[in-house]
Amino acid sequence: MKLRAIATTALLLGGCVVESGNLPAPSATGRAADTTTDVRSSGDAGAEAPFDDAVCLEEAGQSRREQVCHRWRCDGRDAVAPARWSGDASSCLAGELDADAGERAVRLVNLHRFIAGVAPVGFEPSWTGAAQECALVAHANARLSHTPSRDWRCWSEVAAHASSISLVANRSAPLAIAAFIEDPGNESTMVHRRWLLSEELTAIGIGSTDRYACVVVDGRSLGAGDVTKTRRSSDAPPRGWGAWPPPGPVPIDVFATERLDEIGWTVQSSSDGLEQATVTVSSSGERLAVRATPLTPSLGSRSAIRFVPDGWKTEAGRSYVVSIQGPNTIDFTVEPTECP
């Protein structure tokens, strides 16, 4: 039986309770894990590590393309290693968050947000304890739920509450992050992607065992420390919308590893209603066919639309002009790029 893998119940910043579907689990062959948790194949990672170390010690170039490619190569390596865990499900010990894994998970979230032109999120350490309890109850029962019942092993009020405000995965941090962005199995909502790329998201909490992870996306009820957060003057100003793939240079590897031409491109808005929007995509003056679907509103963003290439595949070196016609027009150009 194929398990279901990742789910979300979360509170939008507006306060309403929302739910998502699930992601399929990694396959027995490991293929799903390979395609959703690393920016390169595992075979390439080891061979290129020494060169990557040298490259990543250097500063990125000045152009947007150089900066995107540098971060994709260097921060993307953080996806390879799973989290370690000091806890024990048999004694219901949540353990401590593997600090290195937590930092890598946040870097991966912010890598995607950087490419998307969205301000980075901060890590909220005061949410870690609750997030660890969330990961523990999922691990102890080998099940995912946003409403775990009292008969679950290692249940606690803290674990139950944290489960209701988190993205939950049966992958450890940071392996869960690319899977959330890919979001297979959630084509009617794309809620995990929408949450992690939301302009309204300013901080996250991380909890992880060696097999399960929880990413707190609305921890207001848990209290806030120093991170939840005034926007920095250096951050990109909010546009009111976001896209994946986004405007500007995007590593062509993104389209393969996150299966964008299969799962879908998305545009989300924090204000405009996109339920009735239309989508056009063109390249070199030629209009390209797409299948567009409005997504369930109020799941990680106020509204969103998903569209899938119909009869064509994204190619590096070409530019794709996207136009969303809704209450307001959203126009942008995606530039798939071969990164060194």
Who wins on pLDDT, 236 or 288? 288
Amino acid present at 83: A
Kindly provide the b/e burial profile for residues 28-65, where b requires at least 16 CB atoms within 10 angstroms of the residue's own CB: eeeebbbbbbbbbeeeebeeeeeebeeeeeeebeeebb
**What confidence tier does 223 reach under pLDDT thresholds 50, 70, 90?**
confident
> Across residues 129-153, what is the average pLDDT?
97
Q: What is the pLDDT of residue 43?
A: 34
Tell the CATH topology of 56-216: Pathogenesis-related Protein p14a (3.40.33)
Domain ranges for the chain, please list them. 56-216, 241-337
The average pLDDT across 72-98 equals 93
| Helix (H) or strand (E) run with residue 324 in it | strand 320-325
Integer CA distances (angstroms), 288 to 70, 162, 277, 318, 330, in order: 30, 43, 17, 13, 17
pTM, to two decimals: 0.85
CA atoms within 13 A on the CB side of 133: 18
* pLDDT (average), residues 199-218: 96
**Which residue would you say has higher pLDDT here, 18 or 245?**
245
Nearest alpha carbon to residue 136 among 148, 154, 150, 124: 154
Residue 228 is predicted with a pLDDT of 53
* Higher pLDDT, residue 58 or 265: 265
Question: What pLDDT score was predicted for residue 226?
Answer: 59
The residue count of the chain comes to 340
Residue 18 confidence (pLDDT): 30
Angle between helix 128-141 and helix 157-164 axes, rounded to 10 deg = 100
Could you tell me the pLDDT band of residue 281, with boundaries at 50, 70 and 90?
very high
Residue 175 has pLDDT above 90, yes or no: yes
Lowest mean pLDDT among 227-236, 250-259, 279-288: 227-236
Query: Quick check: helix, strand or coil at residue 90?
Result: helix
pLDDT, the chain, mean: 85
Which residue blocks in the chain are alpha helix, DSSP H? 31-37, 42-57, 64-75, 99-115, 128-141, 157-164, 175-182, 191-196, 252-257, 260-263
What's the CATH fold of domain 241-337? Immunoglobulin-like (2.60.40)
What local confidence, expressed as pLDDT, does residue 31 receive?
A: 28
pLDDT tier at 283 (50, 70, 90 boundaries)? very high
Helix ranges (DSSP H) in 117-156: 128-141
Mean pLDDT of 75-95: 93
Phi, psi of 254 (to 5 degrees): -60, -40
- Equal fold, 56-216 vs 241-337: no
238: confidence class by pLDDT, cuts 50, 70, 90: confident
pLDDT higher for 316 or 23? 316
Q: Which strands make up the sheet holding 248-251, listed edge to edge?
A: 248-251, 329-337, 320-325, 278-283, 286-288
pLDDT score at 52: 73
pLDDT at residue 54 in the model: 83
Work out the percent of the chain whose per-residue pLDDT is above 70. 81
* pLDDT exceeds 70 at position 337: yes
Which of residues 20 and 120 earns the better pLDDT score? 120
**Lowest mean pLDDT segment, chosen from 42-51, 145-154, 258-267:** 42-51
The per-residue pLDDT for range 13-62, each reduced to its tens digit, is 332 233 333 445 553 323 222 222 233 333 333 444 555 778 898 999 99
pLDDT of residue 214 exceeding 80, the answer is yes
Q: What DSSP character marks residue 314?
A: -
| Per-residue pLDDT, 272 | 82
User: What distance lies between CA 123 and its chain's CA centroid?
Assistant: 15
Report the chain's terminal Cα–Cα distance, integer Å. Answer: 40
